[in-house]
A and B are shown apart, each in its own frame.
Chain A
Amino acid sequence: MSAGGEFGFDGRAVPFIEGQSVGAALWADGVRAWRSTRIEGRPRGLFCGIGVCFDCLIEIDGQGDQRACVTPARDGLTVRSQEGAGRDPLES
């Protein structure tokens, strides 16, 4: 088993092994859904798993709309489920 670490997910620790994506680590930890759809609030997680479909959007270190499937897990990340239109704050 390679080296790995832990990142925070909705207030708890999720372990990962080196090279795993955030999405893969969440799956390995039993989490299947981490976003709700904007209009009907349906659960979403990995769909294509290869960066194409944008179904697995998640908030990482305060920035919304990150693809869990292609974002490498790193020690100490703060990952949060995304509700509705997850987004960065807009100023104007």
Chain B
Amino acid sequence: MCLAIPAEVVELREDETALVEIGGVRKVVSLMLLDGVEAGDYVLVHAGFAIERVDREEAQRTLAVLEEAAEYGPLYE
């Protein structure tokens, strides 16, 4: 139930809402719980609300850490 999905903000709308796109599907979500959202941001959407921005640099950093371990190769060939 605590599922939250990353969605790209397409445009800001009136009344503290934004149009977002999730895997090709567009829907309007509330921005009542998150300040400073801009078009082009990725936000986590839960129960119709944006609850946080996805931080691009941190996402990249986590991937880099994971890729570093992958370079040593698999346990089972």
A, B: real partners: no
